[in-house]
Amino acid sequence: MDRRLLVPAALVGLAGVVAVVGVGNHNGEEVVVAGDSLTAQSDAQVNFVLTADRWRPIVTGVSGSSIGNRNAVFDWPTRINELAALHPAVVVIELGTNDCGNCGEDLDAAIDSVLTPLRHVRRVVWLTAQTEVEVASDLGHVNDALRKATVRWPNLEVLDMGRHFAGHPEWHTGDGVHFNEAGSSELASLIRNAIDAPPSRIGALTPVA
Host H or E run for residue 30:
strand 29-35
Summarised one tens digit per residue, pLDDT across range 80-109 is: 999 999 999 999 999 999 987 666 678 999
Q: Please give the pLDDT value at position 204.
A: 53
Q: Please give the pLDDT value at position 102.
A: 63
User: pLDDT class for 202, splitting at 50, 70, 90?
Assistant: low
Task: Residue 111: name the closest of 148, 59, 63, 155 by CA.
Answer: 148
Summarised one tens digit per residue, pLDDT across range 10-59 is: 444 432 223 344 456 888 999 999 999 999 999 999 999 999 999 999 99
CA-CA distance, 110 to 39, in Å (whole number)? Answer: 20
β 156-159/123-127 pair status: parallel
pTM here is: 0.86
Instruction: Say whether domain 9-196 belongs to CATH 3.40.50.1110.
Output: yes
